[in-house]
Amino acid sequence: MKKNYQLPDPKAERNRRNEARRVDFCLEDDLRTLGIGKTYYIRTYGCQANVRDSETLAGMLEMMGFNPVASPEEADISLFNTCAVRKAAEDHVLGEIGSLKPLKQAHPEKIFGICGCMAQEESMVALVSERYPQVDLLFGTHNMEQFPHLLSRVMAGERTIQVESEGSGSVVEGMPVERSRHYKAFVNIMYGCDKFCTYCIVPYTRGKERSRRSEDVIREILAVKAQGAKEVTLLGQNVNAYGKDLGMEDGFSELLREAADTGIERIRFYTSHPRDYRESTIDVMVEHPNVMPALHLPVQSGSDEILKRMNRGYTSSQFLTLYERMKEKIPGITFTTDLIVGFPSETDAQFEETLSLVDHCQFDSAFTFVYSPREGTPAASFEDNVPLAVKKQRLAQLNERVGNYARRNNEAEVGQIRKVLCDGASKKDPSVLCGYSEENRLVNFHSDTAREGDVVNVKITEARSFSLLGEAV
Ligand code: SF4
């Protein structure tokens, strides 16, 4: 007898996998009143993923009845949402937590908690447990949704150090969020990273790539749009890999198209990886003017040998081909990047290759770093053989080069009219307003009528090293 074989439907399979890993957040009734009459403070270090996580922590705290205050001195509970990407950032956090000891001694009832990427490092958990008795609560990125329960244990008098070394692989939906700005929203599209660049600790602290269902992402964008958001930034450690874990061929381009079709005024995404870029993503950017013409595209080095040792998965010429392709297809697109100097074995000639790449791309700005080994990463076993003085000298040279192009690019803006999403008064100079242009340039400007959240036409009148000055027109 002839059998009827049916090929599996890829979309149905994807939905099945999505459903299997999706968990809904739930806050029990007895936890909803735990914070009534109490206050909280959150200090956030590091990248946008941490900023977004802090918004979720704030959402949970407010759901429990806590109210926000501006400092640990005023707060009943203070959380330090940490970053582990650089050693210097960790030392800074430890210094700040160390300085809380007198406050804890004077007010033992105050609760101090550490969370975020540092809390996922075994060595850090041991260090904090033993040497920082002022810390009452420590939890990592893999069990953030357990925070209300962990906090209730601390409030009942139990010092709670609970870190899951591996996530369950699930994606938790429906967590509350207290966004810092109503007109700009970060929307996570995926968590974790599978790239394992040899210097980077993120795959160990944030876990494997887990994508959210596109329906959940789009629902969140529509919700923030309905609440007045004008700009959405799609977040992931490596957004171009979106959907790969779900078996999607070209998940990010599909998602970006759907996100753009919601009609939100501005869409950005962060961070891109040069290795996973697809032509279709560029096409979506070309076809949708609400996808902003500004890209953060980390290159890290201009030397193929160093890129290989970093396990970046592309050569400098592949990076440049992508760069040229985007410049050609998206007029006016701006680029920023990340660069590391002094990676193990980097020679003068290889550093010169990085400078040449910078000369070619003339980035608007760059996050530049001196390499420092992160315990537990493959590169930590490489001989860190570039002397610190050489690293510093290369960094200074690189910063000068990047700064020159940034200034030149800004000078070319004088006389242009740019659409700026106003962030309110500038922190540095409250007599002017500030905001970002579509090209993601910081613009300070004068206006008698503009308010935070308005999109304002600004005529650029002056260029500074890392910002522009203008007048609303
Ligand atoms: S892509 Fe590389 S640098 Fe970026 S988070 Fe993943 S491992 Fe780290």
Q: What is the mean pLDDT of residues 165-174?
A: 76
Indicate whether residue 273 lines ligand 1 (CB < 6 A): yes
Q: Ligand 1, residues 83, 273, 371: which to mutate, most atoms within 8 A of Cβ?
A: 273
272 Cα: distance to centroid of ligand 1 (angstroms): 10
Higher per-residue pLDDT: 206 or 385: 385
CB 206 within 8 A of CB 167: no
Per-residue model confidence (pLDDT) at position 90: 87
Residue 1 binned pLDDT confidence (cut-offs 50, 70, 90):
very low
Backbone angles phi, psi at 29, to 5 degrees: -55, -40
CA-based end-to-end distance of the chain: 78
Residue 18 binned pLDDT confidence (cut-offs 50, 70, 90):
low
Indicate whether residue 300 lines ligand 1 (CB < 6 A): no
Give 322-338 pLDDT, tens digit per residue.
999 999 999 999 999 99
Indicate whether residue 196 lines ligand 1 (CB < 6 A): yes
Structure tokens given for 189: 């599209």
At 171 the three-state DSSP class reads: strand
Q: Which atom of ligand 1 is nearest to the CA of 237?
A: 5
Q: Which of 148-152, 206-210, 328-332 has the lowest mean pLDDT?
A: 206-210
Give 215-260 pLDDT, tens digit per residue.
999 999 999 999 999 999 999 999 999 999 988 989 999 999 999 9
Domains located in the chain, CATH noted: 24-162 (3.40.50.12160), 173-408 (3.80.30.20), 417-472 (2.40.50.140)
Q: Which atom of ligand 1 is nearest to the CA of 300?
A: 3
Q: Which atom of ligand 1 is nearest to the CA of 311?
A: 2
193 Cα: distance to centroid of ligand 1 (angstroms): 6
Give 312-323 pLDDT, tens digit per residue.
999 999 999 999
Per-residue model confidence (pLDDT) at position 11: 61
156 Cα: distance to centroid of ligand 1 (angstroms): 39
Task: Give me the count of residues in the chain.
Answer: 473
273 Cα: distance to centroid of ligand 1 (angstroms): 8
Q: Does residue 3 have a pLDDT over 50?
A: no
C-alpha span between 227 and 183 (Å, rounded):
8
Q: Which of 6-20, 63-77, 105-119, 357-371 has the lowest mean pLDDT?
A: 6-20
Q: Does residue 286 have a pLDDT over 60?
A: yes
Q: Which residues contact 181 (CB under 8 A, 6 or more apart)?
A: 423, 452, 453
